[in-house]
Amino acid sequence: MSGRGIAAIAHTFLLSVSLKALQLLLSSRPVGSEEALAMGLCDKVLPCSSSSSSSPARDEAEAFLLGLSGRLDPSVARAAKLVCSVGARTDLPLADRLAAERDVFARLWGGEAQRRALRERLKH
In order, the DSSP letters of 65-103 are HHHHTTTS-HHHHHHHHHHHHHHT-TTS-HHHHHHHHHH
Average pLDDT, the chain: 75
Name the band, by pLDDT with cuts 50, 70 and 90, for residue 8.
low
Please report, for residues 25, 79, 95, 120, the alpha-carbon distance to residue 124 in angstroms, rounded to integers and kept in the order given.
Answer: 18, 12, 23, 11
Of the chain, the percentage scoring pLDDT greater than 70 comes to 74
Please tell me the distance from the alpha carbon of residue 78 to that of residue 91, in angstroms, as a whole number: 22
Q: Please give the model's pTM, rounded to 2 decimal places.
A: 0.41
End-to-end CA gap in the chain: 37
CB atoms inside a 10 Å sphere around CB 108 = 17
Please tell me the distance from the alpha carbon of residue 44 to that of residue 22, in angstroms, as a whole number: 23
pLDDT digits (tens, 9 = 90+) for 15-58: 666 677 777 777 888 888 888 888 777 778 877 766 656 678 77
Whose CA is closest to 111, among 89, 81, 87, 78? 78
Let me know the angle formed at the C-alpha of 96 by 23 and 67, rounded to the nearest 5 degrees.
Answer: 70
